[in-house]
Each structure stands twice: as structure tokens, then as C-alpha cells.
Structure 1
Amino acid sequence: MTTFNAPDGTRLAYHLLGSGEPLLVLPGGPMRASAYLGDLGGLSAHRQLVLLDLRGTGASAEPADPATYRCDRQVEDVEALRAHLGLEQVDLLAHSAGGDLALLYAARYPERVRSLTLVTARGRAVGVPFTDEERAEARALRAGEPWYSAACTAFEAVASDTATDADWEAITPFYYGRWDAAASAHAAADEEQTNYDAGDLYPAEGAFDPPATLAAIAGLKARVLLLAGELDGGPRPQVAARMAELFPSAELVVQPGAGHFPWLDDPEFFTRTVAAFLASA
């Protein structure tokens, strides 16, 4: 673990895995410590992963001002890390809600982004939502799973705001393409790794200005990869496809059988796809 100072003085941490050319990695959650990413299914064999713990998560300090948890206000943390690493340009990979932060960074500092990899990423920053109907579509794909019936009942409780802790636990398999011991252990770590109060502030009012972000990325020279999970409900592959249309140069890959954490479902496919994209970017 290594640390550096954000512009407001908050001490932030990052973790280095592997060797070679750096790949700056932004976690999702929102506001989950980067530990859940592991080595991204073995991607560290191809690049040195620079895994940032966002402020108030993992080994990074909590800021004096909680308002700085808002997504757009963390863009300068990413820029400070780039400068700390001494990189003129960065290859940037972001997962899930981290996609919004990566998009805002690319909009504010387009000249600093050499490539952008968005893994099952959110698109609120560019005004691309995903709907309840799309979530339902994804749930229906899992009808043959042994846990499906109980999970659907639990999801109804979640939707009606009557969910218990057991209900939240019961719907967890929907996030994974393969619900096994490894997925269960990964899910169990979520609570201790996530700063939920910060996560509530991450998309706070004013965080996103889609028209401005769209205008800024319209001329982005960086190549972009959007990797979606075939079984993921948030967002669905069609959401990634809509996002891909917003960039001058973007590639869409849908990983078969994958959920929201594709590097766990099929590490070989994930690593091969991302490594090949980075090699050609």
C-alpha cells in the first residue's frame, strides 16, 4: 500500500499488484474498498494494477468534509493520483458505479486518458439509466437456478421497502453469473468493505450533468471498451450498447454467462478480453 494527498489534504491509498505498464483501477460499490476487485481475474499478469481506495474506504482516510464523497468532487482525487504516479496519460479501468467517476474524469481531463475500460459500468454521468423492466429481464434469465424462487420472493420485499437482512442476502446470487463458494465469500465481504454513508452521498444532487459530460466526451480520442455481463441486471448489456454509441471509438463485448463481477465468473475470458484491448489501445 502507498499513499498520497488529495488536493484537499485527505490522505488516499492505492495498492499495486503485478508489474508492467500501470492500469489505474477505480472501484464501484459505490464506495467499496478496492480489495473486492482482487487481481481482476489474473489481469495483474499483464499489467500493473493501481487499485485506488476512494476516500473513506479501505486504507484511505475519511475527508473532513463529507460532501466531498460526491462523485464529481472525487475527480480531482483521480487526477492527483495520475500526477503522483508521474504519468502523462493513463489507461483507466472502472467497475460498476466507478464508471461514473471514470466518465467524469474523461470529460474533465480528456487529454490524460489513453484508454478507458468500463466493466459492467453505470452511466448516470452520461444520462443512460437502466430500468426496473431491464432488471426483471435479467432476473428471468436465472429461472433455472435452485435459489431462484426464494430470491424472487425476497426481491419483492426489497421492491416494497419491507426487506429484512435475510431478504437482501437472498437476492445476492442475482449479481453473480455462477453462485458458488467463491461468489458467496466475495459477497460476504461487501458489508465490511463498503462505506454506505459515503455511498449515499456519491450520487447526490449536482453530481451529474449529462449534457455537459456528453459534450466533453464527444471528441474523446481515447479508445473505449465496454464489457457487459450477459446475465447482469444492473446494467444490462443493452445499456452498455447505448453507452458505446456515445463515444467516437468504442468496442462492446458481452461476456457469456457473466453477472456483475465478470472476472469471477470466467477469469480467462475476462483477462483475455481486457488484456487484448489494452495491448491494442
Structure 2
Amino acid sequence: MTVLSKNKGMNITALNQGSHFVDLNGVHLHYRVKGNGPLLFVVSPGWGIGSLYLQRGLDFLTERFRVVFVDTRGSGLSKRPSDPAMMGSSQMADDLDALRSHLGLSTIVLLGHSNGGAIALSFAQRYAERVSKLILIDSQLFGFSAAEDTHRFLSTRAENPDYSSAVNLAHHFFSGKGKPPRNDDELTEFVGNILALYLNNPGKNLATARQQLSDKPISFYAFGSQNAADAAAQNDQTVLLHLIKAPVLIVSGRHDWICPIAVAERMHAGIKNSTLEIFEESGHLPWIEEPTKFHSKIVNFLSC
């Protein structure tokens, strides 16, 4: 891993603890640096939630690593591009490379969760020589659909009182029958109301999930703009998986409804130098549901 030191070309000041803003690719981008040790980059999903939930859930990493939490364009404290068509996941991957260059780093170690995983994957495909390790946690994979698995998950939990209201809302949203969110507050409320679906054991873990994910408005602009930009790009990441040369750790919760385990298995099959770790008691948020195992697997991979 890249160790923070006075290596020639490294922008030490830009890696000091705290919040930083930098103008890259026409966007005022925000990132926060926490912890000490080898450098690790964590990229937020691009649909508006920002990196704060990752700063909370992955805080254990700051005990061993200097973690750079990146808010993607239009999310968190990062600003929007002038053209919403430039809100695609590929542009967000390009922002990561621009940040890498700004910091004077030849390579980075990168972690992404959910759609952040797809952004990290895009970076590793576009800039294969500039990533030294990659961690994909319950990651999305453009070009691969596991919609049948998602439908099966919702159907089997429709009568379960821990999930039933969330299942109903999700069905209405995906079918277009319900009133879609129209602003930040409505989108944030919607995500909070379906949060149980992201957990294998909401009775035990929903309060923690709400603590980590639910107190900041989610950007409706980013949600709509990223989805539209990615749909227009028709990006198929499955055909480029072979381009990734760095060691990759793929983490998947057995009970993930939004990025089912079939997605992780497809990535593992396509990335030669990859390891797949399945978390049998987790949904989409394994650091909440199986924290001891999660901490161990992540730290061991980063340290070897």
C-alpha cells in the first residue's frame, strides 16, 4: 500500500486530516481524510447519499490506515457539474484519477460499496495500472442484471412483518405505480422507509443502519442525473473485467436484495486475481451485521 511520506511528488498538505476541496474536471470536489497509516481511498456511491455513512461504518479502518473518503460529484459536499449529462459513473471514475494525480500518487488502493463499487470497478478498468488493490463490497455491476433474484427476495419477504411495508413500497416504486420521490426530503424518507430490505436481520440491526444512513438529505439531483447518464452510456462492465490486474477482494452478503450474490459471483468469475468472501448472515451492509468477520477480512486483505 502507499505509505504517507515525503515521497517526491506527493502532495502532503492535501492529505492532512480533515475536509478538503479541490477543483477537478470542472467540479468542486470534496474529500475527507481520517486516520493514520497507509493510504486507502473510499469512494461514495454516485446517487446522492455521499460518503458520511461510510465514514461511520468503516471508521474502524482509520485506526490502521489514512482513509480518503471521496464524495462523488453532486453528492455529499461535492458540487454539481454544469451539465447533468456529466453525472455518469464513468465521469466519477475519472474524478478519482484526477484526484490521484492532484495528490501526486502513482497508484491508489480503492474501496467501493454498492454503486460506489461500480465506480471503483470503472476506475480499475479505465486505469488498470493506477490501482494496486481493489475492494468491492456488495457492488453493482453495469451490464449484469440479477432482477430475478431481487424479485425472489421481495416475494419471499412480503409476508414477514419486519419487511412487509418496505416490500410494498419497493414494489410500488419499481412498478411505477407509486408516487416517486420529487425532492431531497422525499428521497431521503423513501430510502429510510425501505432500509429494512438492506438487512438480513432488521429486528437487530435496523437502528444501527438508521444511525449510519438516515440523518442527511440525499441529493435527488444526483439520484436522477446519475441514473439518466448511466442509462444513456449503456456501459457493460462485464466485458472489461479481464482488464483488472490488481488483487481484488469481493465481499457479498448472502441476503443482499439490491446487489444479489449472483453479481459478486459474476465479478469473481471475470476477474482472474480476485477473492470472493460471502457473508452468510448479512444483507447489503455486512459491516453492520457481521462486524467481526468483516473487519478481519478487510484488514487482512489490505495488510498482506
Q: Scaled by the length of structure 2, what TM-score is found? A: 0.80
- Determine which of 28, 35, 42 is the counterpart of 1:18: 35
Match of 2:80 in 1: 62
Which residue of 233, 236, 245 corresponds with 2:257?
233
Distance change (3 Å), C-alpha of 1:140 and 1:46: farther
Q: Is 1:146 matched up with 2:169? A: no
2:144 matches 1:128: yes
Q: CA deviation at 1:6?
A: 0.8
Cα offset for 1:266? 2.5
Could you list the structure 1 runs, at least 4 aligned residues long, displaced by more than 6 angstroms after superposition.
165-168
The correspondence for 2:211, drawn from 170, 177, 185, is 185
In the superposition, relative to structure 1, how do residues 192 and 170 fare at CA in structure 2: closer, same or farther (>3 Å)? closer
1:254 CA drift (Å): 0.9
> d(CA) in 2 for partners of 1:53 and 1:142?
33
Closer, same or farther: CA 184–178 of 1 in aligned 2, 3 Å? farther
- CA 1:163/1:184 → structure 2, altered by over 3 Å: closer, same or farther? farther
Segments of 5+ residues of structure 2 without an aligned counterpart are 1-18, 180-185
Q: CA deviation at 1:7?
A: 2.6
**Cα distance 1:168–1:69, how it changes in 2: closer, same or farther (>3 A)?**
closer
Higher relative contact order (CA 8 A, sep 6+): 1
Matches of residues 75-114 of structure 1 in structure 2 within 5 Å?
Answer: 75-114=93-132
CA distance, structure 2, for counterparts of residue 102 and residue 167 of structure 1 = 26
In structure 2, the partner of 1:205 is 232
Assess, with a 3 A threshold, how the Cα gap between structure 1 residues 37 and 210 changes in structure 2: closer, same or farther: closer
Question: Is 1:71–1:207's contact at 8 Å kept on the other side of the alignment?
Answer: no
Counterparts of 2:172 and 2:244 in 1: how far apart (Å)? 43
Q: State how many pairs are aligned.
A: 273
Cα distance in 2 between the residues matched to 1:32 and 1:207: 23
**Cα drift, residue 252 of structure 1:** 0.3
In structure 1, how many angstroms separate the alpha carbons of the residues matched to 2:235 and 2:300?
Answer: 31
CA contact (8 A) 2:71 2:78 kept: yes
Q: 2:60 aligns with which of 38, 42, 45?
A: 42
Cα distance in structure 2, aligned partners of 1:210 and 1:183? 29
1:41–1:142 CA distance, 2 compared to 1 (3 A): farther
Give, in whole Å, the separation in 1 of the partners of 2:123 and 2:174: 33
Deviation at 1:114, TM superposition (A): 0.5
Q: Distance in 2 between matches of 1:259 and 1:202?
A: 28
> How well do the aligned residues superpose, as a CA RMSD in angstroms?
2.5
1:171 corresponds to which of 173, 185, 194: 194
Report deviation, 1:241.
0.9
1:100 deviates by 1.9
| CA 58–151 in structure 1, closer or farther in 2 if over 3 Å, else same | closer
